[in-house]
Amino acid sequence: MRPAGTPLAPPPRTPTALPRHALVGAVVAALLAALPAFVPAPAAQAAPALLSQDKPVTASSQEHSGTPASAAVDGDNGTRWSSAWSDPQWIRVDLGAPASVSRVVLRWESAYARSYRVEFSGDGTTWTTAHTTASGSGGTETLAVSGTARFVRVHGTARATGYGYSLWEFQVYGTPGGDGPGPVTPGGDLGPHVHVFDPSTPGLQVKLDEVFRKQESAQFGSDRHAFLLKPGTYRGINAQIGFYTQIAGLGLRPDDTTIDGDVTVDAGWFDGNATQNFWRAAENLALNPVNGTNRWAVSQAASFRRMHVKGGLNLAPNGYGWASGGYIADSKIDGQVGNYSQQQWYTRDSAIGGWSNSVWNQVFSGVEGAPATGFPEPRYTTLDTTPVSREKPFLYVDGDEYKVFAPAKRTHARGTTWANGTPQGESIPLSRFYVVKPGATAATMNAALEQGLHLLFTPGVYHVDRTIDVNRANTIVLGLGLATIIPDNGVTAMRVADVDGVRLAGFLIDAGPVDSPTLLEVGPQGASADHAANPTTVQDVYIRIGGAGPGRATTSMVVNSDDTIIDHTWVWRADHGDGVGWETNRADYGVRVHGDDVLATGLFVEHFNKYDVEWYGERGRTIFYQNEKAYDAPDQAAIQNGSTQGYAAYRVDDSVTTHEGWGMGSYCNYNVDPTIRQHHGFKAPVRPGVRFHSLLVVSLGGMGHYRHVINDTGASTVPSGTSTVPSTVVSYP
């Protein structure tokens, strides 16, 4: 096995042999020259066009960073794509529109395919074979094919050498069929993984139980589900919510859709430990819990929005095992919230009957009934209002018509948006959305956006071979059932222009195996427009690198636009699952903020190889921050940052003059090398305008330690040994 940290290098190659058909071509040319002059010339025909050059291309794998799939369609015979050293492998080019394909030219490097197929597809999902061989010759192969295709794929099934598959050029010739997809049809049904019920529809409990059996422990599975309940009362229901499952009411207010029963998350699948209960959601419902208290034992990436619990809410699993933090917004809990073993939690713009226990970090902003600030003990941090907020858009029914409601912005918000009647905002009919279903391409999504449509992603996993570009002001991109976007070939999954009022909500971006420079960009570099009156919002948008398989990204989220609101995100470099290792799912930076006046409410960022959060913009604010440093650092040298031990979990750049944060924690669990020392959790310039409130660092069981909390301030965690006692700073400077 290659030692960790050793750079991948191309294997030694034998020089590419002169193609055997070169001599044959010379002989044929001589024979043609000797033919009698009276041979009639063929009728003139338009030569087939080269359709594939510089088009989006995707591959099953690449050998190393110097051999990307794009090198096979760049027109440069000195660059190449090469795959991993295994069978099967494929490379696919998107021609941008259906075309009549007549020829495919494969210029193989010395590592070529003995057996392979050339395949055509109109949608990138269903394939037909245009050519197949079990005796590939290598060199340059010119294949006569016939058919209509938008996607052309070379699918290798047996290598001729011990290396992978390697192509200098992959060329597709034919007659072009246009510049891209035609007009996109808006609206449409919501697909098979959206389960819509009304109170008279039989089988709701049966369907809930069926999906839960599949999703209870499917932490890295590919199924996605949304349960949408039309207004009315549903009696005797226990909706157990597993991974990648959303349950939501379809009324304008939570009380329009009532469950006489529970919406439950517990941790039986993980022996009573809820610290991995990720990726699920409950929204826009009223609950009458059977025993008076609803159980919602979750950790990161699990939102509880626009809920009315007519009783209490228990945030701990049965048996009171650990849980690792969650999020409540725009909700009313009539009774007490039982925090119990929840390590950290953020509640925003809500109303509660009370709160118990504090563990490490409990933060409230704009919450009626919240406990007063008591940090460091009890560990409550409370802001009377939230400076700026705008609730997440949501699907609802108006008579027989689906619409999306886009709530209005509030300043100095406190309490729910719906307590006094119909909430303020805009209703947008589904006929103004492109309903995205699995198999849709990024080109089609972009065509829909260019037509002026919004995007509604139905539950599923979406591979995109080019960036989804959101360029129009006030566009909504809304996901149902934790819809997941995977960028192929190292592209950025989504970019937002420097425009007003874009709303991104309810989806997961999962890094692909080829390193993406970024996964989500809000605004281009150098963005400077003022969006204070109508900011872009990023809500319940989660980013994952590794875990479900190999994933790499240099920086996960970049925010360049001023006034952006990041409202509940979990940006996670995986510490468990598949494709996990210090270099395997390399991701140096979590979130980088360059825009001014950016507000983060509920920021969860974990395990990055270098800085988890870096803030360069002026007047930034963060209310609640939860972080764990990367568990898998192999040794002290791996995280050495110049003369500093370790990269801060949250760094404010030295150029910043004004910044403020409340309720922020960083934890270390260096389980590969427990001797690692982290100089501090937080780093910031020392000046009056840069202020922090309620900071803590924690060594989990003595697996590594912090020397300070922020800069050189705050006690070391070393004296606490293995006792997992936080070191705190009440205010800084």
How many Cβ atoms sit within 10 Å of the Cβ of residue 105? 15
Residue type, 276: Q
Nearest of 23, 76, 97, 25 to residue 446 by alpha carbon: 97
Query: Residue 521: enclosing H or E segment and its boundaries?
Result: strand 516-522
Q: Nearest Cα to 136, choosing from 44, 22, 20?
A: 20
Q: What is the largest CA-CA distance in the chain?
A: 102
C-alpha–C-alpha distance, residues 185 and 38, integer Å: 57
Residues 576 and 428: beta-carbon distance below 8 Å: no
Distance of CA 578 to the CA centre of its chain: 16
CA nearest to 493, candidates 534, 447, 542, 439: 542
Question: Is 26 in a helix, a strand, or coil?
Answer: helix
Element (H, E) at 479: strand 476-487
Is-cis flag, bond preceding 378, omega within 30? Answer: yes
Backbone angles phi, psi at 521, to 5 degrees: -125, 125
Per the residue annotation, which of 368, 391, 628, 660 is the catalytic one? 628
Q: How far apart are CA 351 and CA 708, in angstroms?
A: 36
Task: Characterize the bridge pairing of strands 476-487 and 503-510.
Answer: parallel
Strand partners, 118: 131, 154
204's enclosing H/E stretch is: helix 204-215
Dihedral of alpha carbons 605, 326, 286, 335, sign? negative
Distance CA 10, CA 82 (A): 9
Contacts of 395-402 with C-beta under 8 Å, sequence gap 24+, read: 395/228, 395/248, 395/250, 395/430, 395/456, 395/478, 395/480, 396/249, 396/250, 396/251, 396/252, 396/284, 397/230, 397/231, 397/250, 397/251, 398/427, 401/429, 401/430, 402/190, 402/429, 402/430
Rounded Cα distance, 138 and 214, in Å = 46
- Helix-strand-coil split of the chain, %, nearest 5: 10, 45, 50
Cα(297)–Cα(317) distance, rounded to whole angstroms? 5
Q: Note if 606 is an active site residue.
A: no
For residue 371, give the DSSP letter: P
Residue with tokens 């944060």: 661
Q: Is 62 helix (H, G, I), strand (E, B) or coil?
A: coil
3-class secondary structure, 28: helix
Check: CB of residue 447 under 8 Å from CB of residue 184.
yes
Chain centre distance of CA 479: 11
Which of 171, 125, 121, 117 lies closest to 147, judged by CA?
Answer: 121
Structure tokens at 431: 């006929």
- How many of the other CB atoms lie within 10 Å of CB of 132? 12
| Helix/strand number for the chain, H first, E second | 3, 54
Sequence-separated (6 or more) residues with CB below 8 Å from residue 59: 68, 69, 81, 83, 89, 90, 91, 92, 489, 514
Q: Give the catalytic positions in this structure.
A: 628
